[in-house]
Amino acid sequence: MKPPAFDYHAPAGVDEAVEILAEAGAEAKILAGGQSLIPLLNMRLVTPGHIVDVNRVAGLGFVEAGPDGVRVGALARHSQVERLPELRRVQPLLGQALRLVAHPVIRNRGTVVGSIAHADPAAELPAVLALLGGSVQTRHAAGGRTIPAAEFFVGPLESALEPGELAVSVFFPALPPRSGTAFAETARRHGDYAIAGVAALVTLGPDGEPERAAVACVGVGPVPIVVETPYRAGWDGAAEAVAAAIEPEDDIHATAAYRRHLTGVLAVRALGQATEEARG
Protein backbone atom coordinates (compact mmCIF):
# COMPACT_ATOMS: atom_id res chain seq x y z
CA MET A 1 0.00 0.00 0.00
CA LYS A 2 0.98 3.64 -0.36
CA PRO A 3 1.03 6.15 2.50
CA PRO A 4 -1.78 8.71 2.77
CA ALA A 5 -1.03 12.25 1.54
CA PHE A 6 0.87 14.51 3.94
CA ASP A 7 2.81 17.76 3.93
CA TYR A 8 6.56 17.09 4.01
CA HIS A 9 8.98 19.30 5.97
CA ALA A 10 12.78 18.98 6.05
CA PRO A 11 14.11 21.47 8.64
CA ALA A 12 17.86 22.16 8.81
CA GLY A 13 18.09 22.95 12.53
CA VAL A 14 16.49 22.03 15.86
CA ASP A 15 14.89 25.49 16.28
CA GLU A 16 13.26 25.26 12.85
CA ALA A 17 12.12 21.67 13.56
CA VAL A 18 10.41 22.55 16.86
CA GLU A 19 8.76 25.60 15.26
CA ILE A 20 7.21 23.40 12.56
CA LEU A 21 6.24 20.80 15.17
CA ALA A 22 4.58 23.48 17.34
CA GLU A 23 2.53 24.72 14.41
CA ALA A 24 1.44 21.26 13.26
CA GLY A 25 0.75 19.96 16.81
CA ALA A 26 -0.81 16.49 17.04
CA GLU A 27 -1.07 16.37 13.22
CA ALA A 28 2.73 15.94 12.89
CA LYS A 29 4.95 12.84 12.96
CA ILE A 30 8.73 13.02 13.18
CA LEU A 31 10.62 10.89 10.63
CA ALA A 32 14.06 9.63 11.72
CA GLY A 33 15.30 6.28 10.30
CA GLY A 34 11.78 5.44 9.09
CA GLN A 35 12.20 1.73 9.94
CA SER A 36 9.06 1.75 12.07
CA LEU A 37 7.20 4.83 10.81
CA ILE A 38 7.30 4.04 7.07
CA PRO A 39 5.66 0.58 7.47
CA LEU A 40 3.00 2.17 9.72
CA LEU A 41 2.35 4.85 7.09
CA ASN A 42 2.24 2.35 4.23
CA MET A 43 -0.25 0.19 6.14
CA ARG A 44 -2.17 3.38 6.97
CA LEU A 45 -2.05 2.58 10.68
CA VAL A 46 -1.00 6.21 11.17
CA THR A 47 -2.27 9.07 9.00
CA PRO A 48 -0.41 12.25 9.99
CA GLY A 49 -1.11 15.48 8.10
CA HIS A 50 2.57 16.52 8.39
CA ILE A 51 5.84 14.58 8.30
CA VAL A 52 8.80 16.40 9.84
CA ASP A 53 11.90 14.67 8.44
CA VAL A 54 14.74 15.43 10.88
CA ASN A 55 17.47 13.72 8.81
CA ARG A 56 18.91 17.09 7.65
CA VAL A 57 18.91 18.66 11.12
CA ALA A 58 22.49 19.61 11.96
CA GLY A 59 24.20 18.45 15.15
CA LEU A 60 22.07 15.42 16.06
CA GLY A 61 24.22 12.61 14.62
CA PHE A 62 26.55 12.26 17.60
CA VAL A 63 27.33 9.49 20.06
CA GLU A 64 29.61 10.30 23.00
CA ALA A 65 30.96 8.06 25.75
CA GLY A 66 32.22 9.62 28.99
CA PRO A 67 32.84 8.39 32.53
CA ASP A 68 29.14 8.93 33.40
CA GLY A 69 27.68 7.07 30.43
CA VAL A 70 26.78 7.20 26.75
CA ARG A 71 24.83 10.04 25.18
CA VAL A 72 23.24 9.32 21.79
CA GLY A 73 21.96 12.07 19.49
CA ALA A 74 18.66 11.75 17.63
CA LEU A 75 20.31 10.97 14.28
CA ALA A 76 22.88 8.40 15.47
CA ARG A 77 22.07 5.11 13.73
CA HIS A 78 22.04 1.80 15.60
CA SER A 79 25.16 0.67 13.67
CA GLN A 80 27.04 3.88 14.53
CA VAL A 81 26.42 3.33 18.26
CA GLU A 82 27.30 -0.39 17.97
CA ARG A 83 30.72 0.54 16.54
CA LEU A 84 31.64 3.03 19.29
CA PRO A 85 35.04 1.77 20.58
CA GLU A 86 34.35 2.69 24.25
CA LEU A 87 30.92 1.00 24.32
CA ARG A 88 32.09 -2.32 25.79
CA ARG A 89 33.92 -0.58 28.64
CA VAL A 90 31.43 2.20 29.45
CA GLN A 91 28.08 0.44 28.90
CA PRO A 92 28.29 -3.09 27.43
CA LEU A 93 24.53 -3.71 27.71
CA LEU A 94 23.88 -1.27 24.89
CA GLY A 95 26.10 -3.26 22.49
CA GLN A 96 24.67 -6.59 23.70
CA ALA A 97 21.14 -5.31 22.96
CA LEU A 98 21.94 -3.63 19.64
CA ARG A 99 23.26 -6.90 18.18
CA LEU A 100 19.76 -8.34 18.70
CA VAL A 101 17.90 -5.46 16.97
CA ALA A 102 16.70 -6.58 13.53
CA HIS A 103 19.35 -7.03 10.77
CA PRO A 104 22.40 -4.91 9.82
CA VAL A 105 20.56 -3.22 6.95
CA ILE A 106 17.88 -1.97 9.37
CA ARG A 107 20.51 -1.01 11.96
CA ASN A 108 22.29 1.08 9.32
CA ARG A 109 19.23 3.30 9.01
CA GLY A 110 17.22 3.04 12.25
CA THR A 111 18.13 5.36 15.12
CA VAL A 112 18.55 4.58 18.81
CA VAL A 113 16.49 7.64 19.77
CA GLY A 114 13.78 6.64 17.26
CA SER A 115 13.55 3.21 18.86
CA ILE A 116 13.15 4.78 22.32
CA ALA A 117 10.58 7.32 21.04
CA HIS A 118 8.64 4.53 19.30
CA ALA A 119 8.23 2.86 22.75
CA ASP A 120 7.58 -0.63 21.42
CA PRO A 121 7.42 -2.97 24.45
CA ALA A 122 8.87 -5.74 22.24
CA ALA A 123 11.99 -3.68 21.39
CA GLU A 124 15.33 -4.16 23.12
CA LEU A 125 16.51 -0.56 23.63
CA PRO A 126 13.57 0.69 25.76
CA ALA A 127 14.33 -2.19 28.16
CA VAL A 128 18.01 -1.15 28.30
CA LEU A 129 17.08 2.46 29.07
CA ALA A 130 14.55 1.39 31.73
CA LEU A 131 16.96 -1.04 33.42
CA LEU A 132 19.84 1.45 33.54
CA GLY A 133 17.63 4.33 34.72
CA GLY A 134 18.58 6.52 31.75
CA SER A 135 16.77 9.57 30.44
CA VAL A 136 15.51 11.32 27.31
CA GLN A 137 16.38 14.96 26.59
CA THR A 138 13.81 16.90 24.57
CA ARG A 139 13.24 20.24 22.88
CA HIS A 140 9.95 21.99 22.15
CA ALA A 141 9.03 25.53 21.13
CA ALA A 142 8.91 26.74 24.74
CA GLY A 143 12.19 25.10 25.89
CA GLY A 144 13.03 21.52 26.75
CA ARG A 145 13.15 18.94 29.51
CA THR A 146 14.78 15.72 30.68
CA ILE A 147 12.41 12.78 31.10
CA PRO A 148 13.61 9.91 33.34
CA ALA A 149 13.15 6.45 31.79
CA ALA A 150 10.81 5.46 34.65
CA GLU A 151 8.34 8.14 33.43
CA PHE A 152 9.00 7.86 29.70
CA PHE A 153 7.29 4.58 28.72
CA VAL A 154 3.53 4.98 29.19
CA GLY A 155 2.02 2.11 27.16
CA PRO A 156 2.46 0.14 23.92
CA LEU A 157 3.84 2.64 21.34
CA GLU A 158 3.04 5.42 23.80
CA SER A 159 5.63 7.63 25.49
CA ALA A 160 5.63 10.75 27.65
CA LEU A 161 6.57 12.85 24.59
CA GLU A 162 3.96 15.55 23.96
CA PRO A 163 2.86 16.77 20.50
CA GLY A 164 5.45 19.30 19.34
CA GLU A 165 8.25 17.70 21.35
CA LEU A 166 11.45 16.43 19.69
CA ALA A 167 13.67 13.91 21.50
CA VAL A 168 17.16 15.32 20.85
CA SER A 169 19.21 12.73 22.73
CA VAL A 170 19.08 9.77 25.07
CA PHE A 171 21.47 9.15 27.96
CA PHE A 172 22.48 5.63 29.08
CA PRO A 173 24.29 5.69 32.48
CA ALA A 174 27.66 3.91 32.71
CA LEU A 175 28.15 0.43 34.10
CA PRO A 176 28.56 0.67 37.92
CA PRO A 177 31.79 -0.75 39.44
CA ARG A 178 31.97 -4.56 40.03
CA SER A 179 29.04 -5.02 37.63
CA GLY A 180 28.19 -7.06 34.58
CA THR A 181 25.34 -7.14 32.05
CA ALA A 182 23.76 -9.55 29.60
CA PHE A 183 20.80 -9.72 27.20
CA ALA A 184 19.04 -13.03 26.55
CA GLU A 185 16.08 -13.45 24.20
CA THR A 186 14.19 -15.98 22.11
CA ALA A 187 12.96 -15.09 18.63
CA ARG A 188 11.50 -17.36 15.95
CA ARG A 189 14.23 -16.24 13.52
CA HIS A 190 17.41 -14.26 14.12
CA GLY A 191 16.59 -10.55 13.76
CA ASP A 192 12.87 -10.93 14.45
CA TYR A 193 11.28 -9.17 17.39
CA ALA A 194 11.69 -11.47 20.41
CA ILE A 195 8.88 -13.65 21.76
CA ALA A 196 10.38 -12.63 25.10
CA GLY A 197 13.67 -11.10 26.18
CA VAL A 198 15.51 -10.12 29.35
CA ALA A 199 18.23 -7.53 29.98
CA ALA A 200 20.16 -8.11 33.23
CA LEU A 201 22.45 -6.02 35.42
CA VAL A 202 24.32 -7.63 38.34
CA THR A 203 26.55 -5.84 40.88
CA LEU A 204 28.84 -7.93 43.07
CA GLY A 205 29.50 -7.34 46.75
CA PRO A 206 33.04 -7.32 48.23
CA ASP A 207 32.79 -11.12 48.66
CA GLY A 208 32.33 -11.58 44.90
CA GLU A 209 28.70 -12.74 45.27
CA PRO A 210 25.78 -10.83 43.65
CA GLU A 211 24.76 -7.96 45.95
CA ARG A 212 22.23 -6.23 43.71
CA ALA A 213 20.56 -7.53 40.57
CA ALA A 214 17.73 -6.39 38.34
CA VAL A 215 16.27 -7.31 34.98
CA ALA A 216 14.11 -5.56 32.38
CA CYS A 217 11.70 -7.79 30.49
CA VAL A 218 10.77 -7.37 26.82
CA GLY A 219 7.56 -8.38 25.06
CA VAL A 220 5.69 -9.41 28.23
CA GLY A 221 3.79 -6.26 29.18
CA PRO A 222 2.67 -2.85 27.88
CA VAL A 223 6.08 -1.29 28.72
CA PRO A 224 9.51 -2.72 29.62
CA ILE A 225 9.06 -4.28 33.08
CA VAL A 226 11.94 -3.77 35.53
CA VAL A 227 12.19 -6.28 38.38
CA GLU A 228 14.67 -6.38 41.29
CA THR A 229 15.84 -10.00 41.38
CA PRO A 230 17.06 -11.52 44.65
CA TYR A 231 20.11 -13.82 44.77
CA ARG A 232 19.71 -16.54 47.39
CA ALA A 233 22.49 -19.04 46.70
CA GLY A 234 21.08 -19.09 43.14
CA TRP A 235 18.60 -17.37 40.86
CA ASP A 236 15.48 -19.52 41.46
CA GLY A 237 13.88 -16.68 43.46
CA ALA A 238 14.63 -14.34 40.56
CA ALA A 239 12.65 -16.48 38.11
CA GLU A 240 9.70 -16.43 40.53
CA ALA A 241 9.91 -12.65 41.02
CA VAL A 242 9.96 -12.12 37.24
CA ALA A 243 7.06 -14.50 36.59
CA ALA A 244 4.98 -12.64 39.20
CA ALA A 245 5.75 -9.16 37.81
CA ILE A 246 5.18 -9.57 34.07
CA GLU A 247 1.88 -9.31 32.18
CA PRO A 248 2.28 -11.50 29.07
CA GLU A 249 -0.52 -12.00 26.54
CA ASP A 250 -1.41 -14.73 24.05
CA ASP A 251 -0.72 -14.07 20.37
CA ILE A 252 -0.10 -16.12 17.23
CA HIS A 253 3.55 -16.73 18.25
CA ALA A 254 3.13 -17.93 21.84
CA THR A 255 0.69 -18.34 24.70
CA ALA A 256 0.89 -16.12 27.78
CA ALA A 257 1.80 -19.19 29.89
CA TYR A 258 4.70 -20.05 27.56
CA ARG A 259 5.96 -16.45 27.64
CA ARG A 260 5.79 -16.41 31.45
CA HIS A 261 7.82 -19.62 31.70
CA LEU A 262 10.28 -18.49 28.99
CA THR A 263 10.88 -15.11 30.65
CA GLY A 264 11.81 -16.83 33.93
CA VAL A 265 14.25 -19.12 32.08
CA LEU A 266 15.77 -16.17 30.17
CA ALA A 267 16.08 -14.17 33.41
CA VAL A 268 18.08 -16.95 35.09
CA ARG A 269 20.28 -17.24 31.97
CA ALA A 270 20.88 -13.49 31.65
CA LEU A 271 21.57 -13.06 35.38
CA GLY A 272 24.08 -15.93 35.27
CA GLN A 273 25.86 -14.43 32.25
CA ALA A 274 25.87 -10.95 33.82
CA THR A 275 27.41 -12.41 37.01
CA GLU A 276 30.17 -14.06 34.95
CA GLU A 277 30.77 -10.74 33.15
CA ALA A 278 31.01 -8.93 36.51
CA ARG A 279 33.57 -11.48 37.74
CA GLY A 280 35.55 -10.66 34.63
Ligand X SMILES: Cc1cc2nc3c(=O)[nH]c(=O)nc-3n(C[C@H](O)[C@H](O)[C@H](O)COP(=O)(O)OP(=O)(O)OC[C@H]3O[C@@H](n4cnc5c(N)ncnc54)[C@H](O)[C@@H]3O)c2cc1C
> What residue ranges bind ligand X (CB under 6 A)?
29-37, 74, 101-102, 106, 110-111, 113-115, 117-118, 123-125, 161, 166-167, 193
Cβ of residue 123: shortest distance to ligand X, in angstroms?
Answer: 3
Residue placing its CB nearer to ligand X in the complex, 36 or 275: 36
Cβ of residue 246: shortest distance to ligand X, in angstroms?
Answer: 18
Cβ of residue 34: shortest distance to ligand X, in angstroms?
Answer: 4
Cβ of residue 117: shortest distance to ligand X, in angstroms?
Answer: 3
Across the beta sheet with 210-218, what order do the strands follow? Answer: 179-186, 196-204, 210-218, 225-228
Distances from the Cα of 118 to the Cαs of 59, 108, 208, 255, 261, in angstroms?
A: 21, 17, 38, 25, 27
Per DSSP (E only), the strands in 81-209 are 135-140, 143-148, 153-155, 158-159, 166-173, 179-186, 196-204
Residue placing its CB nearer to ligand X in the complex, 102 or 241: 102
Cβ of residue 174: shortest distance to ligand X, in angstroms?
Answer: 22
**Alpha carbons within 13 A on the beta-carbon side of 187:** 17
Cβ of residue 169: shortest distance to ligand X, in angstroms?
Answer: 9
Residue placing its CB nearer to ligand X in the complex, 123 or 213: 123
Residue whose C-beta lies closest to ligand X: 110
Phi/psi for 45 (5° steps) reads: -85, -20
Distances from the Cα of 193 to the Cαs of 9, 52, 87, 177, 212, in angstroms?
A: 31, 27, 23, 31, 29
On whether the CB atoms of residues 53 and 17 are closer than 8 A, the answer is no
Residue placing its CB nearer to ligand X in the complex, 48 or 272: 48
Residue placing its CB nearer to ligand X in the complex, 160 or 212: 160
Cβ of residue 233: shortest distance to ligand X, in angstroms?
Answer: 35
Residue placing its CB nearer to ligand X in the complex, 33 or 272: 33
Residue placing its CB nearer to ligand X in the complex, 29 or 260: 29
Q: What is the dihedral of CA 112, 116, 118, 119, to 10 degrees?
A: 150
